[in-house]
């Protein structure tokens, strides 16, 4: 008799074959300029249950450029494993042909050149087409949104997330979980959730005062004669990584024992399949999958990783569906006798020039944008350089933002948060006001100006580095390293907290940072209540207007060792 584990592994192999043929096919076709919608959507139906996963849209309604990371360092057990493999090594690992559409979608290599061939990605109207097509084949499919949906654009900021709520309501997901949603504040989240026509799940969202569950932890769906439990896991470090004062009523956390209790509860209720819709981040989910028993599928989010094949941990499969509407995952499952017997998976890349926009969704998006169109599309400047953010260190968008902050706020040193959202711009692109917002939009964008001692600056860098490079994933918060302007440093990622960061020096003069001396520091996205200053997008806009054309020199201010 074949055991469940053997079956899963056999299925994984089968799935890999399907995945490779699917990917290889459209890769070759694209090389012949014949990338078609049919090829992108091609999928041999499998089993009886279908999950559709999209996550970390960050309010990107329109197609975008999004350069995948050049730096995504893994530490501890995660070292050298996906998603901590980038560029050509990633292409080799997954048999992607360099220069192919799939290599363009999944790696940073030759991004500018390949972008000219393959074009922008994403767009919620294209996503709608893909979702409708999957639902046509599998009417019982569950559509699950991993959160970071309502935040990230000028229109979402101006409408308090309403544009995204309207668009997602039209897409009709079955459930979502949350992270940046909370930065609109408790009252706004509650207002939206009250009227949401689908489940807003978070098993780990607790009442801060009573330490009791505060939101619906899971929902059980009856689909294709199968009972499917979807458990929500919101971003665990909400009150630490984002301003606690905006949602003081709630406590979050990984709460592994709570997850196990909820899994046990739904198993005892007799469900056939347990799905965790998670905003933990990939490494946290990987650890949780090994420690919490009884989860069949974890739909991961938060760390913006796109992995073309499921990652198997014990008998749990992890699905990583990228960010910004660039990908949609389809996962078909064979669920029988209360067990997941096998799966087939495809990470569907949303090539904006290949997939036909859904007309209804396109009209809705344009209607949402119409009241702000002139503001959004006003040209502020042009860029000669590729502007991107994603990656463990620096990134040209943040170089530009740090330059703006230092110059407009007259500071020696600028700090810019290592968030993973923010699409790219290609050399030669106009920089519109909307583009600036895509890289800066938030409800706490005030640019502070203060003084910090060298000792404090060192402590800040050490603290953030440990959020990224602690070898225990449960201590990682899932952002990238804080971006620094005007000051360089060396980092040994293999060291423990307190000894990773050395050689702090001012970049203008090369002068070493003195622990006892004070420096003027300006930055944005402070989690402290009452932070004052102009909004970051206004600061960046003023700077770009003065420059006219943005051209950035390569940044060599951070030296990384211990890889």
Residues of this chain that bind other proteins (CB under 8 A): 180, 208, 211, 235, 237, 239-242, 244, 251-254, 257, 417-421, 459-460, 463-464, 466-467, 472, 474-475, 477-479, 482, 497, 525-527
Residue 83 preceded by cis peptide, ω within 30: yes
Cβ closer to other proteins: 17 or 261? Answer: 261
Name the minimum Å distance from CB 480 to other proteins: 8
Task: Give the integer Cα–Cα distance in Å for 386 and 383.
Answer: 7
- Contact call for residues 353 and 371 (beta carbons, < 8 A): no
Name the minimum Å distance from CB 30 to other proteins: 32
- Owner of token pair 């974890």: 298
Cβ closer to other proteins: 312 or 460? Answer: 460
Cβ closer to other proteins: 27 or 526? Answer: 526
Name the minimum Å distance from CB 318 to other proteins: 20
Name the minimum Å distance from CB 112 to other proteins: 25
Task: Give the integer Cα–Cα distance in Å for 514 and 452.
Answer: 11
Closest CA to 159 of 360, 324, 325, 372: 372
Cβ closer to other proteins: 201 or 482? Answer: 482
Q: Half-sphere exposure of 112 toward its Cβ, with a 13 Å CA cutoff?
A: 10
Angstrom distances, CA of residue 65 to CA of 90, 111, 297, 525:
20, 9, 29, 24
Cβ closer to other proteins: 481 or 513? Answer: 481
Cβ closer to other proteins: 223 or 302? Answer: 302
Rounded to 10°, the helix 396-409/433-440 angle is: 100
Name the minimum Å distance from CB 453 to other proteins: 14
- Torsion over CA: 453, 510, 399, 85 (sign): negative
Closest CA to 458 of 494, 497, 419, 420: 497
Cβ closer to other proteins: 220 or 240? Answer: 240
Q: What angle do CA 453, 500, 67 make, to 5 degrees?
A: 100
Task: Report the 10 Å Cβ neighbour count for 195.
Answer: 8
Cβ closer to other proteins: 84 or 458? Answer: 458
Name the minimum Å distance from CB 188 to other proteins: 19
Cβ closer to other proteins: 344 or 458? Answer: 458
Name the minimum Å distance from CB 123 to other proteins: 22
Name the minimum Å distance from CB 55 to other proteins: 14
User: What's the farthest any 2 CA atoms get from each other in the chain?
Assistant: 72
Name the minimum Å distance from CB 91 to other proteins: 27
CA gyration radius, the chain: 23
Cβ closer to other proteins: 252 or 519? Answer: 252
Task: Give the integer Cα–Cα distance in Å for 363 and 258.
Answer: 43
Angstrom distances, CA of residue 361 to CA of 58, 127, 172:
17, 9, 12
Length of the chain: 563
Task: Give the integer Cα–Cα distance in Å for 100 and 115.
Answer: 11
Cβ closer to other proteins: 275 or 413? Answer: 413
Closest CA to 421 of 52, 62, 53, 69: 69
- Going by their DSSP bridges, the two strands 273-278 and 226-233 should be labelled as parallel
Cβ closer to other proteins: 228 or 525? Answer: 525
- Going by their DSSP bridges, the two strands 250-251 and 206-207 should be labelled as antiparallel
Name the minimum Å distance from CB 204 to other proteins: 11
- Torsion over CA: 408, 414, 420, 423 (sign): positive
* Phi, psi torsion values for 17, nearest 5 degrees: -65, -45
Closest CA to 547 of 383, 429, 423: 383
Name the minimum Å distance from CB 2 to other proteins: 35
Name the minimum Å distance from CB 416 to other proteins: 9
Cβ closer to other proteins: 196 or 240? Answer: 240
- Contact call for residues 352 and 120 (beta carbons, < 8 A): yes
Name the minimum Å distance from CB 253 to other proteins: 5
Task: Give the integer Cα–Cα distance in Å for 178 and 204.
Answer: 11
List the 501-506 sheet strands across, edge first: 501-506, 487-492, 558-561
Name the minimum Å distance from CB 460 to other proteins: 6
Cβ closer to other proteins: 157 or 464? Answer: 464
């Amino acid at each position: 008799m074949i055991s469940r584990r053997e079956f899963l592994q056999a299925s994984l192999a089968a799935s890999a074959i399907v995945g490779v043929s699917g990917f290889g096919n459209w890769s070759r076709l694209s090389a012949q300029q014949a990338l078609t919608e049919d090829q992108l959507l091609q999928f041999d139906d499998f089993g009886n249950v279908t999950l559709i996963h999209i996550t970390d849209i960050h309010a990107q309604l329109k197609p975008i450029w999004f350069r995948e990371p050049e730096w995504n360092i893994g530490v501890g057990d995660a070292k050298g494993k996906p998603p901590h493999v980038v560029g050509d090594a990633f292409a080799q690992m997954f048999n992607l042909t360099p220069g192919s559409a799939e290599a363009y979608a999944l790696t940073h290599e030759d991004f500018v050149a390949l972008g000219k061939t393959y074009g922008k990605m994403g767009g919620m109207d294209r996503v709608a087409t893909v979702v409708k097509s999957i639902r046509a084949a599998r009417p019982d499919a569950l559509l699950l949104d991993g959160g970071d949906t309502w935040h990230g654009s000028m229109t979402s900021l101006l409408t308090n997330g309403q544009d995204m709520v309207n668009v997602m309501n039209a897409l009709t997901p079955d459930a979502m979980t949350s992270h940046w949603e909370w930065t609109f504040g408790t009252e706004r989240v509650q207002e939206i959730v009250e009227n949401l026509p689908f489940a807003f799940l978070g098993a780990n969202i607790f009442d801060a005062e009573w330490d009791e569950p505060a939101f619906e932890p899971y929902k059980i769906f009856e689909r294709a004669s199968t009972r499917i439990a979807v458990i929500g896991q919101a971003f665990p470090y909400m009150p630490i990584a984002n301003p606690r004062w905006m949602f003081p009523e709630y406590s979050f956390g990984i709460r592994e024992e709570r997850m196990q209790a909820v899994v046990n509860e739904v198993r005892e209720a007799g469900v056939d399949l347990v799905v965790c819709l998670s905003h933990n981040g990939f490494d946290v989910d990987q650890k949780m999958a090994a420690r919490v028993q009884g989860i069949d599928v974890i739909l991961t989010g938060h760390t913006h990783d796109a992995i073309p094949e499921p990652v198997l941990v014990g008998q749990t499969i992890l699905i990583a569906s990228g960010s910004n509407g660039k990908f949609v995952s389809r996962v078909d499952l064979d669920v029988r006798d209360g067990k997941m017997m096998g799966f087939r998976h495809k990470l569907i890349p949303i090539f904006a020039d290949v997939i036909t926009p859904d007309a209804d969704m396109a009209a809705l998006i344009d209607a949402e944008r119409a009241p702000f169109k002139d503001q959004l599309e006003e040209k502020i400047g042009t860029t000669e350089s590729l502007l991107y953010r994603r990656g463990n260190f620096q990134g040209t968008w943040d170089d530009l933002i740090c330059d703006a902050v230092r110059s407009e706020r007259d500071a020696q040193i600028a700090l810019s948060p290592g968030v993973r959202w923010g699409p790219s711009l290609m050399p030669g692109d106009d920089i519109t006001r909307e583009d600036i917002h895509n890289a800066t939009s938030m409800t706490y964008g005030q640019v502070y100006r203060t003084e910090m001692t060298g000792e404090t600056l060192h402590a800040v860098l050490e603290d953030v580095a440990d959020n990224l490079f602690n070898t225990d994933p449960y201590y990682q918060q899932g952002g990238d390293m804080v971006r620094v302007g005007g000051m360089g440093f060396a980092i040994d990622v293999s060291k423990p907290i307190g000894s990773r960061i050395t050689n702090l020096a001012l970049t203008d003069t090369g002068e070493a940072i003195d622990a006892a001396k004070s420096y003027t520091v300006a930055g944005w996205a402070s989690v402290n209540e009452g932070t004052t200053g102009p909004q970051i997008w206004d600061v960046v806009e003023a700077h770009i207007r003065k420059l006219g054309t943005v051209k950035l020199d390569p940044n060599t201010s951070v030296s990384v060792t211990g890889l």
